[in-house]
Amino acid sequence: MICLGIETSCDETSVALWDDGHLVTDLVHTQIPMHSVFGGVVPELASREHLRLLDGLVSSVLQSAERPAGQGIDLIAVTRGPGLLGALLVGISYAKSLSLSLGVPVIGVNHLYAHLLACDFTEPIEYPALGVLVSGGHTHIYEMPAPCEFNLLGKTLDDAAGEAFDKIAKLLNLPYPGGKYIDILARLGTADPRLFSKPYLQNDNCDFSFSGLKTAVAQYVHKKSFAAIDYAAFDVELIPQEIKDLCATVNETIVETLLEKTRRAVARCHDVKTLCLAGGVAANSHLRHKFSAFAHARGFKFLAPAQNYCGDNAAMIAYAGVQWAKKGLMSSMDFEAVPRGKIVPNDFIVNPFFKE
């Protein structure tokens, strides 16, 4: 099955081609330089940039795969949500138009599920599995009893882990997106576990809340007057050790919180064979190390996508689309975009032309 994947949920415009079990080619255009001027993603600008870039990226991918007019494409997979509504609509409108012009089915993919299925790029996921999705907009834990089955165990109640990283980095005047730079500085610092308490652990659930930690760090930074220093050039040698120690403390606090909630989720599941860590924050070196050690200590297989597939990308969308298509499913042409904060419905329909 040859699938063209399209991803436009936030600030990456990406297109990929998946062919019978392997990735043929993929392109990702990041909008980070544009949005870094504002210290965060501007939805209207993101949508306009997707509109400007998408057709050219699709043409480039098809030409590199020697399918300039889309010959032989069996399926179009596109991110349905969650994400920025305007950005999603650009990709979905394009995918539906291409689906009609080529006469092939289209499938709207849950962006969060696709992140976790990208762990299959490393090694095959052994089920039952536990999926921990950590990104700028979401921090979710899923029980994954079988392929394409996701049972939500815990979710973000306010600020996601990645959002907390980025907002704390902004308090320190670090470049955007800040989570990456906190990770870099944390490797050069020493964490103080007494400085901040791990947030939202005085309960028995698997949900997350990082707004309290963000506030505590903001108060600490204001007291220390760190925000008056300009680190825009990000020269590690010029950054004081106390900033590096603060980054190490923030990193440790967030990672340990994620790990504690994961322990609770494991206790709620049976016969977990694989621990899957995915999402943009899964690129964090300390997070990967701690989760890998935890999984191995429990006798689980640990999987996380390669660094370049932790963030938003169309390869994972194409792959996820193929998994549902192999079950004989597709989306109707009236499926809608689902913004962040809304549940993406599993309203697939049976593909009448599907043949096993």
Residue 184: alpha-carbon gap to chain centroid: 19
355 within domain boundaries: no
Q: Bigger pLDDT: 65 or 75?
A: 75
Q: Are residues 230 and 163 in the same domain?
A: yes
Q: Known binder of ligand: residue 133?
A: yes
| 353 DSSP 8-state letter | T
Residue 17's SS3 state is strand
- Domain with residue 254: its CATH number is 3.30.420.40
For residues 155 and 271, what is the distance between their CA atoms, to the nearest angstrom?
22
**What's the domain range around 259?**
124-304
Instruction: Place 356 in a pLDDT band, splitting at 50, 70 and 90.
Output: low
Tell me the angle at which helices 241-268 and 178-186 cross, rounded to the nearest 10 degrees: 100
Point out the domain boundary residue: 266, 287, 304: 304
What's the number of domains the chain is made of? 2
**Per the confidence metrics, is the pTM higher than 0.85?**
yes
Q: Is 179 annotated as a binding residue?
A: yes
Q: Tell me, yes or no, whether 106 and 128 share the same domain.
A: no
The answer to whether 54 and 90 have CB atoms below 8 angstroms apart is: yes
Is 222 known as a binding-site position? Answer: no
Whether 99 maps to a domain, the answer reads: yes
Nearest-angstrom CA–CA distance, 17 and 22? 9
pLDDT level of residue 176 (50, 70, 90 thresholds): confident
| Cis bond upstream, residue 147 (ω within 30) | no
Q: Is 137 annotated as a binding residue?
A: yes
Which residue shows structure tokens 């095959």? 124
287 and 210 assigned to the same domain: yes
Gap between the Cα atoms of 147 and 75, Å rounded: 19
Do 242 and 317 lie in one domain? The reply is no
Task: Say if residue 24 is in the same domain as residue 98.
Answer: yes
142 plus 285 within the same structural domain? yes
Average pLDDT rounded to a whole number, residues 233-257: 92
pLDDT class for 39, splitting at 50, 70, 90? confident
Q: Quick one: 283 and 327 in the same domain?
A: no
Q: Is there a single domain that holds both residue 20 and residue 133?
A: no
- Regarding whether 242 and 299 lie in a shared domain, the answer is yes
- Note whether 38 and 148 are same-domain residues: no
Determine, yes or no, domain membership for 163: yes
* Cβ partners under 8 Å of residue 171, min gap 6: 217, 218, 221, 226, 227
What's CA 275's distance to the chain center, in Å? 16
Residue 62 counted as domain residue = yes
Rounded to an integer, what distance in angstroms lies between the CA atom of residue 302 and that of residue 104?
36
- Distances, alpha carbon 192 to alpha carbons 244, 253, 334, 348, in Å: 11, 9, 52, 49
In a domain, residue 177? The reply is yes
The confidence score (pLDDT) of residue 300 equals 95
Of 291 and 235, the structure prediction assigns the larger pLDDT to 291
Q: Is the pLDDT of residue 353 over 80?
A: no
Residue 209: per-residue pLDDT? 96
**Tokens 């005085």 map to which residue?**
202
Q: What are the structure tokens assigned to 303, written together?
A: 């999987």
Q: CA-CA distance, 110 to 316, in Å (whole number)?
A: 11
299-328 tens-digit pLDDT = 999 999 999 999 999 999 999 999 999 999
Strand partners, 23: 18
Is 334 a member of any domain?
yes
- Say whether 135 counts as a known binding-site residue: yes
Residue 232's pLDDT is 60
Is 109 assigned to a binding site? no
- One domain for residues 78 and 132: no
Q: Examine the domain organization and report whether 212 and 330 are in the same domain.
A: no
Report pLDDT for 231.
60
pLDDT band of 233, cuts 50, 70, 90: low
Determine the Cα–Cα distance for residues 263 and 25; give it in Å rounded to an integer. 37
178 is in an annotated binding site: no
Q: What does the pLDDT read at residue 254?
A: 98
Please tell me the distance from the alpha carbon of residue 292 to that of residue 301, in angstroms, as a whole number: 8
Asked whether residue 356 is domain-assigned, the answer is no
User: What is the CA angle 70-315-355, rounded to 5?
Assistant: 60
Rounded (5°) CA angle 111-68-57: 40
Query: Is residue 275 in some structural domain?
Result: yes
Nearest residue to 273 (alpha-carbon basis) of 306, 293, 296: 296
